[in-house]
Amino acid sequence: MKISQESPAFIALVQASAGAAGAVFASFVLQPVEVAKTRIQISHGGDDSTVATMRQIARGPAGEFQPWNLWMGAGGKCTENGAKNFAYFYIYDGMNAIVKQYMAATTGVKLILGYVAGVGNTLINMPLEVVSTKLQLDDAKGLGTFGMLQRILNEDGFGALYTGLGFNIALCINPAIQNTILDKLKEALLRQMKRRNPEVTPALSAFQAFTLGAFAKAVATVVTYPLVRLKTNLQAGTAPQPAAEPPQPVMSRTGSGRMTRTRSVELIRAMSFRQDKKPEIQTLWQRFIELYRGVYSALLKSTLQSALLYMVKDQVEFSIERFFHLTAQAFFRKTGQVKLGPFSGRPLAS
């Protein structure tokens, strides 16, 4: 085993580790906004202010101040985002490094690679996403990640861990758009910096990485938000229904414990209505705006999280790469043989 900086596997490992570190940091810092965003997305009426929702969550049943409520499900969300970003960057950067050896990485190619990486990541990590979403609801107090997982398996079965899989597969275009925009902007900025000072290897500053990450995520979020909100409703088990219609749960238990789902078109149509107003007085424009209910909190959370992720990722990337090289030097010879102290290079006794 010979470690090389040019190896696609090594590039993928460094990028995945740096991405996971950035994701965990960003997730913990922004968990209060994440909890508020989830509550707003699954509501179908009333105030959708992020600050007001956060204040409401921070108040306990008796009105006492309980700020730790804003970090409900933080462990699950940090684990989810760390695992998701490790898987995503490993697949994406690994394929990207391989493709660059044979062809130019055009915008179309990067979009395809980003989508494929998103699908792979979704299939691996979706159960963590479902668990972390449910951990942010009121009835999850006192339950940890494994406690919620056990509850889902006991009550709804293994299939519930993949609730909204079709929407997640469609939403894989979100990170594809985000990373394509980010890569193109980053390449253009680095080329400009190189032209200004050819003698210095250009690198993004923390502020530049923060800004590019925020902009790329904002574009991807606005494009895909209605599907994001619908997926959250599915995973939380809430039903977006017009006020004039009898409430029907998105997921209902049958005698065998299996789950049934309403059709996607009906869900999207239902989600466009506010339940605290009569359907007949809601205009088409108002219904369109309702599809973006909670978009402000989603933009705040997703753009800041993406910005923090890429800022941390770019700053720790060199350190992680250096760590892996030192580890390789400690355990492997240049020939690829494993170092085993006095037995190094010799066959072990059978």
pLDDT at 260: 40
Average pLDDT estimate for 143-170: 85
HEC string of the chain equals CCCCCCCHHHHHHHHHHHHHHHHHHHHHHCHHHHHHHHHHHCCCCCCCCHHHHHHHHHECCCCCECHHHHHCCHHHHHHHHHHHHHHHHHHHHHHHHHHHCCCCCCHHHHHHHHHHHHHHHHHHHHHHHHHHHHCCCHHHCCCCHHHHHHHHHHHHCHHHHHCCHHHHHHCCHHHHHHHHHHHHHHHHHHHHHHHHCCCCCCCCCHHHHHHHHHHHHHHHHHHHHHHHHHHHHHHHCCCCCCCCCCCCCCEEECCCCCEEECCHHHHHHHHCCCCCCCHHHCCHHHHHHHHCCCHHHHHHHHHHHHHHHHHHHHHHHHHHHHHHHHHHHHHECCCCCECCHHHCCCCCCC
pLDDT in tens, 102-155: 888 788 888 899 899 999 988 888 888 888 878 777 666 667 778 888 888 998
- How many angstroms separate the CA atoms of 208 and 102, rounded? 30
Give 261: exposed, middle or buried? Use CB within 10 Å, 0-12, 13-18, 19+: middle
CATH top-level class of 8-239+291-343:
mainly alpha
Predicted confidence band of residue 335 (pLDDT cuts 50, 70, 90): low
Of these ranges, 75-84, 225-234, 275-284, 332-341, the one predicted with the greatest mean pLDDT is 75-84
**Residue 250 scores a pLDDT above 50:** no
pLDDT at 264: 65
Predicted confidence band of residue 331 (pLDDT cuts 50, 70, 90): low
pLDDT in tens, 302-312: 888 888 888 88
- The amino acid at residue 147 is G
pLDDT at 334: 58
Least confident of 167-181, 241-255, 262-276: 241-255
pLDDT at 269: 79
Q: What are the residue boundaries of the structural domains of the chain, listed by start?
A: 8-239+291-343
pLDDT in tens, 312-328: 887 788 888 888 777 76
Average pLDDT estimate for 202-231: 87
Average pLDDT estimate for 150-173: 86
**Residue 31 scores a pLDDT above 80:** yes
Using an 8 Å Cβ cutoff, are 148 and 161 in contact? no
**Residue 347 scores a pLDDT above 70:** no
Average pLDDT estimate for 69-73: 82
**Residue 261 scores a pLDDT above 60:** no
pLDDT at 189: 92
Phi, psi of 297 (to 5 degrees): -70, -35
Average pLDDT estimate for 336-350: 44
- Angstrom CA distances, 323 to 13, 316, 328, stand at 12, 10, 9
Using an 8 Å Cβ cutoff, are 289 and 259 in contact? no
